[in-house]
Amino acid sequence: MKNQIEIIATDPAYPMERPLPLNYDPIDVDLIDGESSFTIPALNVYKIKDAKLYEDGSIFTDEGLFRPSIRDPGMLSIYKWWTVMKRDVTFKKIDLPAGNYVSVIDHWGTEYYHWFVENFTRLLRIKKEVSDFTLVLSERHRKPHILTSLSKIGIKDILFLEPKTRALVPNLYTCDFPGEPDFHREALIQEVNALFKDQSEPTRKIYVSRQKAPKRKIINAKEVEAVLKKYEYETIFAEDLSFEEQVGLFNQTKSLVTLHGAGLTNILWMKSGTHVLELRKDKWGLIRETGERENSKFYNTYYHLCLALGVKYSYLSCPSNNPEESARFADLEVDAGQLSNELEKLQ
């Protein structure tokens, strides 16, 4: 079928210059290299007639896989023609009735960071073009942070696809992912922040501990917590708080210290002019899956998120007891003296 895909809106590409971290040291050039100057690519909103939508978020037309529906190029190998044929035979098929439908499903889209930064932002953008629609999600999306955020913008008409299901959709709206991973469209990120912003004054100093997590812990945790206590930081465990409690806490936070990890997604709820100190690995390790050396593009997620929201960003490079371990998994040892120096700057 010709003219099946229609671009109904385009946000143009634009160059972006972001300042280096407040305490940037040229010795750390490998950690930040190429991260302060880049281009945000154009973002298209699409209307697709008679689309096939799978529970994992992949979209197919008569021409095959609709490439913008897949976030990670590394996952394209999943969609070889023979695997697609097998799915068509074995998956449950449903025909959706006439109407407008929206999908922002992707492989990682249910996780805290990926939902708000990469998928909820897409929904906000699509919503500017079409107001009357059914949102199509997977059963995996039945999580408190997702359902609460949808309620926040008045989304009530939701269809949850069961695993191993494909839907034939008469009119499907979707859009590009908002830039390369971590290079955020500031307007969309700021829109998410504004939706959850309260009127409280940010006065609290918070340290988010990962000592209950299975990976990326602080080796000398007691020493670090003693330093933080001296500077009146509260120690919290994000996993012990509900989504609403996290939003409320970080609306009130003026200074946040923590290890690299998903808990830093809570930067989304912080106010402009507040501060984040990220504890991060001092040298790139090896990617477990490939054995290749890591580089800065994998781990400056929260540096960019801070700057998109006007939150001040600094960092402390910390050695690992296993230098070759990936920054995604390595435990770190924090120099108590250096930490004290950084905290002193924030007084």
Q: What are phi and psi of 253, to 5 degrees?
A: -90, 125
Return the H-helix or E-strand segment holding 78.
Answer: none
Q: Is the pLDDT of residue 152 over 80?
A: yes
Domain locations in the chain as residue ranges:
42-178, 195-345
Fold of 195-345: Rossmann fold (3.40.50)
pLDDT in the model for residue 166: 94
Summarize the confidence of residues 316-334 as an average pLDDT: 89
Q: Is the pLDDT of residue 1 over 60?
A: no
pTM attached to this predicted model: 0.92
Whole-angstrom distance, CA of residue 19 vs CA of residue 230: 30
- 36 band by pLDDT with thresholds 50, 70 and 90: confident
pLDDT in the model for residue 206: 97
pLDDT in the model for residue 298: 62
pLDDT in the model for residue 184: 83
5-24: burial string, b at 16+ Cβ within 10 Å, e else: beeeeebeeeebebeebeeb
pLDDT in the model for residue 165: 95
Q: What is the pLDDT of residues 259-284, one digit of tens each?
A: 988 889 999 999 999 999 999 988 87
CB 151 within 8 A of CB 175: no
pLDDT in the model for residue 157: 97
Count Cα atoms within 13 angstroms, Cβ side, for 312. Answer: 12
Alpha-helix residue ranges (DSSP H) falling in 91-242: 112-113, 121-127, 144-152, 186-196, 221-230
pLDDT in the model for residue 199: 93
Q: Is the pLDDT of residue 40 over 60?
A: yes
Summarize the confidence of residues 190-202 as an average pLDDT: 96
